[in-house]
Structure 1
Amino acid sequence: MRKLLLGFALTLPLTAMCADRITGQPFATRSEVYAPHAMAATSHPLATQVALDVMKAGGSAVDAAIAANAALGLMEPTGNGVGGDLFAIVWDPKTKKLYGYNGSGRSPKSLTLAEFRKRGLTEIPAHGPLPVTVPGTVDAWFALHGRFGRRPIADDLAPAIRYAREGHPVHEVIAYYWGRSVPTLSKWPGFAEQFTVDDNGKRRGPRTGEMWKNVNLASTLEKIARGGRDAFYQGDIARTIDAYFKANGGFLSYDDLASHHGEWVEPVSTNYRGYDVWELPPNGQGIAALQILNLLEPYDLKQYGFGSPEHVHLFAEAKKLAFADRAASYADPDFYKTPVAKLISKDYARERGKLIAMDKAMKAAEPGVIPQLNEGDTIYMTVADADGMMVSLIQSNYRGMGSGMAPPDLGFILQDRGEQFVLKDGHPNSFAPGKRPFHTIIPAFVTRNGKPWLSFGVMGGAMQPQGHAQILMNLIDFGMNLQEAGDAPRIQHDGSTEPAGQATAMTDGGELDLESGFAYETVRALMRKGHSVRYADGPYGGYQAIMVNPHGGYIGASESRKDGQAAGY
């Protein structure tokens, strides 16, 4: 597999990544995509084409998003599928409003904190039956479709069903991560039988270019197409899942599935230099991006310049402060009321910003809000249609292929999102039955003067809010175009206090990962400020974006670090 924009280079100039391009754009690996009517940007070219076909046939952007998401569950099981959760933001041109949907599932009602303690666990395992929570994706499809769909949902699912039965060639990055997952997940019942191929008696993942079929998933999608949402949550699929977990030491039950419901939520925003940036409130981490932007707004980043020591340093320090609050108080709002309005306010940012020093890296960052407790790997895609509807959608199994738990004959893997709970009393994100865990997956949207400007996302765990902030800095502060903003080398700070598990508080300042393209002078200057700069191979996320073209139609961009494509008509 090719190297994916490796750690910082010591001698490369800033234009090294595209020195031969005649446009003069210093970072863009390819041109932006322009189209007059509709646009789709996903992490798989075939899924992008599925979305466009649906819109050409009269479907809305939501129809297209559902169709592409179903196809991605087949084609990119390393990141998503019907066993995971889904969040979305939709711009509706009729009402000129944004609508948010939280499609995250809850923990099994029969699993308790005491059960983990009885087993001697201090953290929830990454794989197997214990981290599994109710999958919310199918419910989210039907909720979105019920409000914004124009075609029968059976028509939306038909392309994925056809590809699942007839097969499709596996793409390069997906094949790499698939192969990497097989040794870890093959120990769990149903995984090897449904997600590997037999190579002379040895089970392995499909290789680049090999054809992959999943007839079990085709049958599951056909049941959903015929029977609707309840076919998944209250029919044979739910009964199969229930029996599978009973037989394999799990707790997810038919009742957990039958009682599931997602919910419509109000997106929240901050204004960054005249642009309204929208995220969904917790249990996700979207407001961390808003906190980072609020902390950065007082600084003249344009004057400092992209890749300068000041740019990287200020971003890292803002991230540390935002993530301290993220660890302390982002949780299921049914159990803890995160003080969202305060956390994303400009006054709060001004007060917290006093902790940032220009000449010294922060070693520790305490939360600015102390919780007052009451009783109580991923794909990103975006679609825009000819009527002006835009969809920002993110969906995930967590940890790539999820828990490894693959019920027989269903063709999908259950998520392991429950790993994000904390196994201790007194924390907003402490495990409880029927509770939604802290979530990393976040869609984003930007409006300007009340009109849609940008639908975008950057998948990849804790990288997501960091990526959201960096994309907007690149567009707004540094004047990059949509493709260049995604291709420019990224920053990832790692080591902040986390909202899950028994991780200790950050006391050493964490680690700063820099992608290829940052000057060695910047690296040295950051080290002098006390940053620990580290080599890292590939943890920089996956970006897709659609921008409204002021001259009409749309502009699209896709992640050069993945297999994706932006295309339109």
Structure 2
Amino acid sequence: MKHLLRFALLLVTIHTSAQSTQKPPLHGKNWMAITGKPMAATAGAMIFQKGGNAVDAACAMLAATCTMWDVLSWGGETQALIYNPKTKKVIAINALGVAPTGATPTFYKSKGYSFPPEYGPLAAVTPGTAGGICHMLAEYGTMSLKEILSPAMEMAAGYPIEAQTANSIERNKKLIKDWPYSKAVFLTHPGEEREAPEPGEIFVQKDLLAMLTKMVEAEQTALKNRKSRKEAIMAAYDRFYKGDIAQEFVRGCQEQGGLITMNDLAKWKPVEEEPLHVNYKGIEVYKLQPWTQGPMLLQSLNILENFDLKSMGYNSPEYIHTLYQTMNLTFADRDFYYGDPAFSKNIPIKGLLSKEYAKSRAREINASYNKANSQPGDPYPFEGKKNPLLSLLKIRESLGDTSNKEPERFVPKHDAVTAMNDAYQDRLWRGTTSVEAADKEGWVVSITPSGGWIPACIAGRTGIGMSQRAQSFVLDSVLSPFNVIAPGKRPRVTLTPSMALKDGKPYLSFAVQGGDTQDQNLLQFFLNVTEFGMTVQQATEAANINSNQLWLSLGGTALKDRQPRAGSLLLNSNTPDKARQTLKGMGYSLSFSERTSGPVNAIYFDWKHGSLWGGSSNHGEDYGIGW
């Protein structure tokens, strides 16, 4: 009987891998450009058609998405992985802003906060995206800043705003009215019943256009003075972070109660880092350092290597349970051990990514039920050290202890966003877009930018929405000792681009939006391709699960807003009743949605045929163009 069940599950797997998709796969021989909005993907295509490489195109798409407020703006942050075909290495770009002068736990607690606020000037870290674009373009691109900003500047002069952004402005207009510069930009019909732009209305951003024009002017002046391409781009960088753009940004920020100073901007800079990676069955998977949640995916792969996932069958109860339990363990580690490594050399990342540590964590998984109070492990012995945080771990156990509580039973509804408590689900999924680009020369770029989303507080007459990323800090070391807010420190973010190499060559480049669900969906996308043989488009559309048994990284003003929800599991509406009953018997509280893929964007490198495959999920407005 057991063999028959395994055979049936294999048939399900084969059927799944042969499934049709709602969106066609993208094919290209020369280049691929994918991002969160159709017009922004067009910006990337325009750059490719002018002879730019994948870095040029990615920078143009990033600039366009910021201008379109695609859940980010010019005051946000940029996290990127770049494959350099000349060195055959993956480069990590850290263009995340830092907490400003005066941003201390004492300051925020004096304001009555349990976490830094979700919105407004006190939620802001220093802007990173402008610097990230300048750095990537100067070091690895081929074109001028003027060329790659041209589509964004044309859009700032006026573009037909899409319904998603226009309706987001209308929904959030009450908050927007609290900030005079935001009100002036976003509410184009003040006093009318609908004060936001209509979908399709030409949306003009004069201040933003003026800011971008200043950056281009600085570059062009430097070129006229016989500076190199790189030096000229960095002249634009200096005008943004040290010149008149910075002055107006700081003035507008402080006028509205923010903390960012000129010195904060001048001291900040993007950083190139060594990416982290693990080998999963011959595939090298790359993520950013633990100032992101990215290593959580690497830890998960290490644990899952100890199980025969393929024989379980795609989305069988056994497979879902194994994934969920693995993510519980790695999220518990993320929530406690991750943070800005520039502020501490004692983050145990070597132990966390140890294969032996993964084996020890895998042994904690019970095959029969959900462990409702998964705790961080002890990775220090796996790098030859003693854990200095054992006393904190004991205190912390009680904060998220839901083991003696009945899991909350959510009423299944039509849409994932309303399937659970609206505010909680918004925090779980909040923010960001993704950018994927590749070219025939071998350059590959994966970016997960974010910050400054609507409702954004615009800093003065710059047109720049300030980041809200400070909310990802904590104010108490018991919650996350390496992620306590401090001036000059980067918060531990959910933003997490991904790249994989096979046989020393690019294999997959992939990223997704969606807060704490990002590495959940990316993990499943990767397994869909590697374990279940799906094409890249099938894998972006395939049904995923989402866990809520984790500490939320965004939103909420009290501990209870962010606490883990034990056993809370989002499933696809097509999950068979027998599987539902099995999972309920294992201690899960189920909710459902008709679409659970997550908005994944990805590129697969078909070395057999010398071509590129692009995948862009049917989950949102993500869009790609290949040639």
Q: Shared topology, TM-score over 0.5?
A: yes
Quote the offset at 1:518 in angstroms: 2.2
Quote the offset at 1:27 in angstroms: 5.4
Given the alignment, which residue of 336, 342, 347 partners 1:328? 336
Write the distance in 1 (CA, Å) between the matches of 2:188 and 2:477. Answer: 44
| Greater displacement, 549-558 / 187-196 | 187-196
Write the distance in 1 (CA, Å) between the matches of 2:292 and 2:564. Answer: 25
2:58 — aligned with what? 65
2:626 — aligned with what? 568
Structural RMSD (CA): 2.4
Offset from partner CA, 1:26-62 (integer Å, 9 cap, x none): 2521221111111111111111121121122121111
- Give the 3 Å change call, closer, same or farther, for CA 372–85 of structure 1 in structure 2: farther
- Give the 3 Å change call, closer, same or farther, for CA 128–164 of structure 1 in structure 2: same
Aligned residue pairs total: 543
1:420 — aligned with what? 472
Q: Is the Cα contact below 8 Å between 1:107 and 1:433 reproduced in 2?
A: yes
Given the alignment, which residue of 289, 307, 310 partners 1:281? 289
Offset from partner CA, 1:354-402 (integer Å, 9 cap, x none): 11111111111110137637xxx1010100112110101111016x426
Quote the offset at 1:131 in angstroms: 1.4
AA aligned opposite 2:448:
I
Offset from partner CA, 1:282-334 (integer Å, 9 cap, x none): 21110001111222222222222112111111111111000000010110112
| Greater displacement, 543-552 / 195-204 | 195-204
| Greater displacement, 89-98 / 209-218 | 209-218
1:3 — aligned with what? none
Structure 1 or 2, whichever has the larger Rg, is: 2
1:517 paired to 2:510: no
1:266 — aligned with what? 274
1:365 — aligned with what? 374
2:454 — aligned with what? 401
- For residues 192-341 of structure 1, the aligned pairs below 5 Å read 192-198=183-189, 201-202=192-193, 204-227=195-218, 228-337=236-345, 338-341=347-350
Q: Is the Cα contact below 8 Å between 2:99 and 2:487 reproduced in 1?
A: yes
AA aligned opposite 1:434:
G
> SS in structure 1 opposite 2:449?
strand
Q: Is the Cα contact below 8 Å between 2:573 and 2:594 reproduced in 1?
A: no
AA aligned opposite 2:195:
R
Quote the offset at 1:176 in angstroms: 4.1
AA aligned opposite 2:457:
M
- Give the 3 Å change call, closer, same or farther, for CA 190–538 of structure 1 in structure 2: farther
Write the distance in 2 (CA, Å) between the matches of 1:73 and 1:349. Answer: 38
| Greater displacement, 489-498 / 499-508 | 499-508
| Greater displacement, 335-344 / 352-361 | 335-344
- For residues 348-363 of structure 1, the aligned pairs below 5 Å read 348-363=357-372
Quote the offset at 1:538 in angstroms: 7.2
Q: Is the Cα contact below 8 Å between 1:78 and 1:178 reproduced in 2?
A: no
- Give the 3 Å change call, closer, same or farther, for CA 561–211 of structure 1 in structure 2: farther
Q: Which runs of 5+ in 1 are unaligned?
A: 1-14
- Give the 3 Å change call, closer, same or farther, for CA 416–297 of structure 1 in structure 2: same
Percent of counterpart pairs with the same letter?
Answer: 31
Q: Is the Cα contact below 8 Å between 1:406 and 1:413 reproduced in 2?
A: yes
Quote the offset at 1:248 in angstroms: 1.8
Quote the offset at 1:72 in angstroms: 0.7
AA aligned opposite 1:274:
G
TM-score in terms of structure 2 length: 0.82
Write the distance in 2 (CA, Å) between the matches of 1:278 and 1:181. Answer: 37
- Give the 3 Å change call, closer, same or farther, for CA 203–24 of structure 1 in structure 2: same
Q: Is the Cα contact below 8 Å between 1:104 and 1:136 reproduced in 2?
A: yes
> SS in structure 1 opposite 2:127?
coil
Quote the offset at 1:541 in angstroms: 3.6
1:546 paired to 2:599: no
| Greater displacement, 120-129 / 348-357 | 120-129
2:180 — aligned with what? 189
1:411 paired to 2:463: yes
Question: Larger helix proportion, structure 1 or 2?
Answer: 2
Write the distance in 1 (CA, Å) between the matches of 2:314 and 2:20. Answer: 11
Q: Is the Cα contact below 8 Å between 1:241 and 1:253 reproduced in 2?
A: no
TM-score in terms of structure 1 length: 0.90
- For residues 473-512 of structure 1, the aligned pairs below 5 Å read 473-498=527-552, 503=559, 509-512=566-569
1:5 — aligned with what? none
Q: Is the Cα contact below 8 Å between 1:62 and 1:149 reproduced in 2?
A: yes
1:112 — aligned with what? 104
AA aligned opposite 1:194:
V
2:402 — aligned with what? none
Quote the offset at 1:235 in angstroms: 1.4
> SS in structure 2 opposite 1:430?
coil
Moved segments of 4+, more than 4 Å: 498-502, 504-508, 536-540
Q: Is the Cα contact below 8 Å between 2:25 and 2:537 reproduced in 1?
A: yes
Quote the offset at 1:129 in angstroms: 1.7
- Give the 3 Å change call, closer, same or farther, for CA 539–238 of structure 1 in structure 2: farther
1:179 — aligned with what? 170
